[in-house]
Structure 1
């Protein structure tokens, strides 16, 4: 890309962090009204500059579909902000708790206290949404935030940094840009909470760096999200529903379907219907403004390498495009299916993050669930089938960050659901109330008055009293 990367120095990052730390110390428990004002600033920043934001992201991608950004970033960002504005008063209200008869007279409650300075490391694939969504949770909980934007989206990073300076006080929110060394230094700062979205490999480094300060982390990683197609659904319907979630943003989505488990005798039918639907949605891929480019040549070469290795190992490639030569698509890659891929190929081992979709055959549902359970736990699992018995099987016998039946990716835009992975796909949750809780300390507060009932338990112990209390409360 020709856009120069706006790079912060180590000193600048430290200064920003220290300034936010001091600012939080002067206002450690902002009112709900102040938090809503900050959320409204964030909303105005996006709405008043959405064309510029869309253009900057498209520049970084060398061709990002206009509506991929509107639908995939602007819309869910607005939904997240509006959800927080609507529910914040209830979220932040102290929750009364029963102290228990043995402690009477006493009152108890839980208050949700801001943790302080929240750090966010945003990825390149949805740079706006994955900056905004965690910041919404952090602001709603009463925190201040420092965000490190990906070095792969320099145009967006420069614009977002300037817009945040325009709309927010230096004591509320700041953006920093920089290369990998800045990200490393960022992760070593003593944040009160750190949220990282990115790859599992980098997530391990982030967690290791944060551990030096005992900084709690939320890791939103990814992995290989499987699709299971059951015999109880027409293959045509499953294929039609999978094209958009696989191809939006050219598959560069952490919860995109990564591979399909399909009944062996229906693979050919699935391939046929998927290709027909993909060609209907995305005709003439190379010159199609509705289809997004691969972010950079490095990522494109990685994906092409997956295809070449699979073909060399005997796999078959099925292209939903007007050319069999991938070089003809410029910075883009067409939707592609792979069949007959050996299980030890890179495309079956690594998160794909592109418009490639391997299809794997299975003979029984037990075989499909075993295939999933033998691999690292995914961020999402998608099951297509109308047989009601499927639900208890996948709800109880598989692990995943989220489970969706007969659709894909919709869980991300449901703000009343927690979003997060398990195992290699991440840890912790955010979105909506779960984001508010993640960036809050749920602090129990117990209040006692003049009557000291605890003195009944002071030594010297009265065995008859202890025995009586044990008979009532200890069994």
Structure 2
């Protein structure tokens, strides 16, 4: 049975605000009845999740393919499913150790009391998922939530309707709704979801929508992790091998047709190096995608709205003097499948729309520089990006750039792949987000770090109680208050 058949056979109960509150209340009651899940229970939940992800991998990949019009099945399995499975292994291996209480120091006048921190689940986590990596960006936060002992509600983007209905079935097979629930629908459903009184919200999406989610969450004082986007720049040092740079940039920019929050957005090359880069870039594009139109490996733009937005950037850049260089080996009319051929733009200026907004597509503006200090100033004068990529095998120079810039991630001679690293935290800074997950940060971000203190039978503070004219007070004054 294919995913289209499954979608047609599902008749989900209409979701309105009262139904959302009902599901949330059921989850909160279930959590309160059993708030202290053991490591064994959490690992078992992750194992159940792994089993259904493997079982339904083809159906989920096909559903995402249908949502896009054409989304590479291999990209879904490697970039999304495999990353989730590796995260499950990582959290299953480490969460027992993370759950252990952490001993803390107690001040001398409070001795012989003991202090420690216990890591308690927050309760119910709201996960708001975008359309570009719907599997990874729904299951990834869910893995962190389950590892930390939480329950979760997952809101799927309305642009991922086929996938959302498949995921609803997949999750229902693994978990009761009072533990994990999948919510589909758009518009009012999305707005109502962000207003729910969760114990924490993880939102992945655009900066503008992130602002509305944060404002909605603030009405209930719900803390948020915002994984946003922005324009992630690439800076290439003059010592770099342009062939090597071109291959790595081609992979990172064209994976998912550039519809990736950490895709290289725009690029700074040393003056006079653009033509050499373009020659190598063309080679790797042709090698990876010898044809585009009916190539299942080259992903479509997800919908007409996003396609029109990208075409608008190109029209604006062309009108304002940019040179548009298209890499379309067979000169196919790829618009028939809502695809955009890989495009490099030169002669761009900061005022152009393509340099003002996150691109989220297979378009790569290139600018040249004389002095690296000018590039540092340019990057620092703009909103802080989710990632900054620097190409140079000299570690001292890389450290220099890293110390003088801010970004959610700093990649040296690599793009994109940090997202798949289990032990690295993922998140932005400033306009590109707040909070972290992945790695141990994922566990601790979704846990309450509860301070604990215990006094023994001996109550030492009685010796310093008023009146404050005892020898102990004079001793404190001479030894501690100085």
- TM-score normalized with structure 1 length: 0.97
2:425 is the alignment partner of 1:400? no
The range that moved more, 356-365 or 7-16, is 7-16
| From 184, 189, 195, the counterpart of 1:188 | 195
Structure 2 partner of 1:255: 262
Where does structure 2 lack aligned partners over 5 or more consecutive residues? none
Structure 1 partner of 2:308: 301
Structure 2 partner of 1:176: 183
Structure 2 partner of 1:109: 116
SS in 2 for 1:96: strand
> Which stretches of structure 1, 4 residues or longer, exceed 4 Å deviation after superposition?
2-7, 323-329
C-alpha deviations, 1:213-250, integer Å up to 9, x for none? 10000000010000000012111211111111111111
- Check conservation: 1:326, 1:333, Cα contact below 8 A: no
- Check conservation: 1:383, 1:405, Cα contact below 8 A: yes
State the superposition RMSD in angstroms: 1.6
- Check conservation: 1:226, 1:258, Cα contact below 8 A: yes
Where does structure 1 lack aligned partners over 5 or more consecutive residues? none
Structure 2 partner of 1:35: 42
SS in 1 for 2:340: coil
2:287 is the alignment partner of 1:280? yes
SS in 2 for 1:293: coil
Aligned length: 474
- Check conservation: 2:197, 2:222, Cα contact below 8 A: yes
Structure 2 partner of 1:451: 458
C-alpha deviations, 1:65-112, integer Å up to 9, x for none? 011101110111001111000001001111112223332111111000
Shift of 1:391: 2.2
Structure 1 partner of 2:86: 79
Distance, in Å, in 2 between the alignment partners of 1:124 and 1:461 is 65
| From 223, 226, 232, the counterpart of 1:225 | 232
SS in 1 for 2:365: strand
- Check conservation: 2:334, 2:341, Cα contact below 8 A: no
Shift of 1:472: 3.1
Query: Cα–Cα, structure 1 residues 234 and 470, in superposed 2: closer, same or farther, change >3 Å?
Result: farther
Structure 2 partner of 1:340: 347
Structure 1 partner of 2:15: 8
Shift of 1:327: 5.3
- Check conservation: 2:128, 2:203, Cα contact below 8 A: yes
Distance, in Å, in 2 between the alignment partners of 1:274 and 1:66 is 24
2:390 is the alignment partner of 1:390? no
Distance, in Å, in 2 between the alignment partners of 1:201 and 1:83 is 33
Structure 1 partner of 2:329: 322
- 1:41-60 matched pairs, under 5 angstroms: 41-60=48-67
- Check conservation: 1:141, 1:440, Cα contact below 8 A: yes
Shift of 1:171: 2.0
The range that moved more, 420-429 or 89-98, is 89-98
C-alpha deviations, 1:25-62, integer Å up to 9, x for none? 11111111111111111111101110111111111111
- TM-score normalized with structure 2 length: 0.95
Distance, in Å, in 2 between the alignment partners of 1:210 and 1:93 is 31
The range that moved more, 318-327 or 345-354, is 318-327
